[in-house]
Amino acid sequence: MMTRHTRSEDVALRRFAMCVMLCAAAAVPRAQTQDEFFSADALHEVRLTLSGRDWQALKDRPEDNTYYAADLQWKGIVLRNVGIRSRGHVTRNGLKPGLRVDMNRYLSEQRFLGLTAFTLDNAYNDVSLIRERLTMLLFNRMGIAAPRETHARLFINEEYAGVYAIIEQVDRAFIARILGDAEANVERGGYLFEYRWVRPYGFEYLGPDLEPYAQLFTPQTRDTDSMSALFEEIEELVRAINETPDDRFAEAVGARLDLPLFMRYLAVEDFLSETDGLVGEWGLHNFYLYRPQRDERARLIPWDKDTGFSAVDHPLDYHLLDNVLTRRAIAISELRQIYVETLIACATLASAREPESLDPRGWLEREVDRAAGSIRAAVGDDPVYPFSLEQFDESIEWLRDFARRRPAIVECALGANPAGTPSACAPGATDAREK
Amino acid sequence: MGYCRICPHVVALVLTASAANAQDSSGVTLRWRDHPSIEAGAMRLELAARVESDMRLATPSIGRDAAELRWQSPRVELRGRLTRRVEFEVSRDFGRDAMWKDAYVNVRLARLLEIEAGRFKIPFGRETLTGRANLDFIHRSLGASQLAPSRDAGVMVHGRVLGRRLSYQAGYFDRDGDNARTSQAFGARHTVAVRVVSEPFRADADSAYGRLQLAIALAGSRVDRRLGLRGRTLLEDGVFFERMYVNGRRLRLGLEAFWTAGPASLGAEYMRVTDERNGMGFRGDDLPAAGAHAWYVAGTWALTGERKDGWPEPRRAITRGGTGAVELVARIEELHFASASHPGTAFDFPSLESLNSNADRVFTAGVNWYLTRHVRVQYNFAIEWVADPNRSPAPTAGGRFGTAIVRLQLRV
């Protein structure tokens, strides 16, 4: 038997239906994206919940890579049973542990916005906490694929655990983002290596045996493949760097390594006065090497850049001659030209004022202020920040000063002597390194 | 939702299904017993379909806090006989996981010799070779779903001798089956497989051992610097042993025993796989082979007394006012991956932990309720224990977790 509704009942029914739909819409969290997760527009809040005993064990033994199960929460998204472990090299500590968060450590299909992992970097040695974020930003603006990075307040078991940098992991998901899914294929994708510092090294040839290269380049993909598949091409690259005659250097090495990209990478590091990168104080350090599946030419991906902005008058030829590859590459006019042009592009971008604005600040200084402004209050509350807020402010002021003065110093140095020292262009700035 | 559109039709077909038989004046016979079929002379066509829905109950220890309802991909099969000697089958899954399943032609030259060509199951593993509608459990055992090869394109000779006391299958296949590959892993090539099945007491069918079946199967393939097999938990929530690159010969060995007596059955299988890793060391030296083995023992008992033969026909279907057939099932099993060595571990890749041996052990108990010969409800509860909790989906529960699942299966 059909029921007849009165007009008022119909209206009430419609309202009820509308209410149900609105409630349902409100209950379903809006789809979030990776871009929102790495957005620098706001300070994020990341929450990890795990057994108190596990958290204490992780802090007690920060040198261990033991994974612990935790629940991850960000903006209404909750992931159960993610794996977290201590991470870092010299920054590993039990007071404010750096963390790697793996979504699929225990649940093989689990992803977070398409990511399989990300890093929560304690930036323990960086008073400003933002050097790496600024460095990666400049790499990306210069067209060199680098991990995305922003900052978050981290809560462990609902207790504030400090300000951390959220860093995109350099892994298959990263490779898929920058080079497409085919490169990230599990079985036939490219080879991704993390450079592992064991001693000062600058691409000297280590002989035909593959073990010395395995000691330096740790496979992150295809890590159970045959040793020859993994390391023969690295051995050939290093041999070519060392043994190819000058007149064939660009061709022979360029067939195995994207040399123009390498020169741009080097220029960004040098512009930012990076002292622990390709030509830092201790030889090669802090990068990934990726050998694509469809292109024989390997490329570098920056990593762990928390030692930039070290000196406003940092010489452009600093340690350049100590590394076989940089020494031979810079001697080739076409490659040197790319290096110089990239330095000028960095300087131009860094000093670029906002169009139609009275703001005298250049792009880099504005980014310093934006990053520092977003985290300052959280740094003040950080229970395990190893410095004072005054030291934080001083460090930010250092970065501002670097951002203001470095472009002109680099341009001056390049104008006077493309491979010369900028100290002559920065009176009084010699050895001006942050204490 | 494609499933929902066809579900009412399938349900209607099932509910109205009854034995039907009609013959027109041209000699074409239409029948409907288990499936609709049409016969004209020697030619026969059968149409079969299957729809399933699974309700997986919450398992908080592996992060599943809520129950989950999922329609499995519906399958449609067309099979039959073209002439007295030529048979065929084509089947396809539709929906989310749309793919061709079987597509083959079988030529019956004699009882001793039949030739099958196309895409079908590689002869290895009794449970793998059993159709899904006739499985006693909702999920195949770990070995059947991960070590046995399943379907591939190839050609096979098969036949039986000694009055069915001995049968054989031997074939060549292009690759080594759906279970060995994924969308990103190729698997092996050039598989040669042989399976011999014996029913030694078949002549004395009334004896206690009359329906005892024993079998042995061997399959060899080649893997050319490809990823090997991996260990996944029963419902594929976690990977307890990651696949590694292998290079060389892949060898599978399978042993089977199956026995039925009235309403009860008992079955067991053992299988092992070894993958060579030739020339993968620093100086092109061979690495020790990688290996895995699996076994299970399973039993069933129809409480309502129906004779065990796949999907039993209920003596008193609910459409005739009865309660249907009720069957209890239980299975215990293990999938074990042996430790592997790798020269890279001297330099911290891959991690030693990931190469250590690991195993998944599962005990499954359940009830199958056959409402009619077209409708079945299955309930399975599985307790699973991964030996290394840190490579399990339940690290905080010592690698142990329970999973409950209910399946509604309709077939025509």
Going by pLDDT thresholds of 50, 70 and 90, the confidence category of residue A428 is low
In angstroms, the CA B113 to CA B337 distance is 38
Q: Which chain A residue has its CA at the smallest distance from B394's CA?
A: A106
The reported pLDDT for the residue numbered A427 is: 57
Contact A364/A348 with Cβ under 8 angstroms? no
Q: Looking at the domain assignment, is residue A168 inside a domain? A: yes
Q: Looking at the domain assignment, is residue A116 inside a domain? A: yes
The reported pLDDT for the residue numbered B208 is: 77
In angstroms, the CA A121 to CA A55 distance is 16
Do the Cβ atoms of A107 and B226 come within 8 Å? no
pLDDT tens digits along B362-373: 999 999 999 998
Helix, strand or coil, per DSSP, at residue A178: helix
- Residues of B in Cβ contact (< 8 Å) with A100: none
The reported pLDDT for the residue numbered B32 is: 85
Contact A287/A305 with Cβ under 8 angstroms? no
Contact B249/B271 with Cβ under 8 angstroms? no
Give the residue among A326, A329, A334, A321 at the shortest CA–CA distance from A246.
A329
Q: Looking at the domain assignment, is residue A211 inside a domain? A: no
Q: Which chain A residue has its CA at the smallest distance from B181's CA?
A: A187
Q: Looking at the domain assignment, is residue A76 inside a domain? A: yes
Do the Cβ atoms of B282 and A211 come within 8 Å? yes
> Which of A336-345, B26-35, B146-155, B262-271 comes out lowest in average pLDDT?
B26-35
Half-sphere exposure of A16 (CA within 13 A, CB side): 6
Does B206 or B283 have the greater pLDDT score?
B283
Which DSSP symbol is given to A181?
A: G
| Backbone dihedral angles phi then psi of residue B19, each to the nearest 5 degrees | -60, 125
The reported pLDDT for the residue numbered A430 is: 44
| Whether pLDDT at A211 is above 60 | yes
- Residues of B in Cβ contact (< 8 Å) with A187: 184-186, 226-227
Number of domains in chain A: 1
The reported pLDDT for the residue numbered B35 is: 85
Q: Can you list the positions of beta strands (E) in B109-244?
A: 114-121, 151-161, 166-175, 189-198, 212-227, 231-232, 239-241
Residue position matching structure tokens 């994974």 = A67
The reported pLDDT for the residue numbered A421 is: 55
H/E stretch holding A240 reads: helix A227-243
Backbone conformation region of residue A142, classed left if phi is above 0, alpha if psi is from -120 to 50, else beta: alpha
Q: Looking at the domain assignment, is residue A307 inside a domain? A: no
Could you tell me what percent of chain B has a pLDDT over 70?
A: 93
Q: Looking at the domain assignment, is residue A106 inside a domain? A: yes
Contact B35/B48 with Cβ under 8 angstroms? yes
What's the rounded mean pLDDT across residues A394-412? Answer: 96
The reported pLDDT for the residue numbered A280 is: 86
- Residues of A in Cβ contact (< 8 Å) with B395: 67-69, 81, 83, 106
In angstroms, the CA B285 to CA B23 distance is 70
Q: Looking at the domain assignment, is residue A99 inside a domain? A: yes
In angstroms, the CA B191 to CA B172 distance is 6
Does B234 or A418 have the greater pLDDT score?
B234
What's the rounded mean pLDDT across residues A242-253? Answer: 97
pLDDT tens digits along A53-62: 999 999 999 9
Mean pLDDT of chain A: 90
ipTM score above 0.90: no
Question: b/e for A393-415, b at 16 or more Cβ within 10 A?
Answer: eebbebbbbbbbbbbbbbbbbbe
pLDDT tens digits along A289-304: 999 987 779 999 999 9
Mutation target to probe the A interface, by most A beta carbons within 10 A, among B68, B236, B282, B348 is B282
**Residues across chain B:** 412
Beta-bridge mates of residue A82: A70
Which DSSP symbol is given to B26?
A: T
pTM of the model as a whole: 0.89
Residue A111 is part of which domain span? 37-172
| Whether pLDDT at B323 is above 50 | yes
The reported pLDDT for the residue numbered B164 is: 80
Q: Looking at the domain assignment, is residue A51 inside a domain? A: yes
Query: Hey, CA dihedral for A268, A271, A276, A280, is it positive or negative?
Result: positive
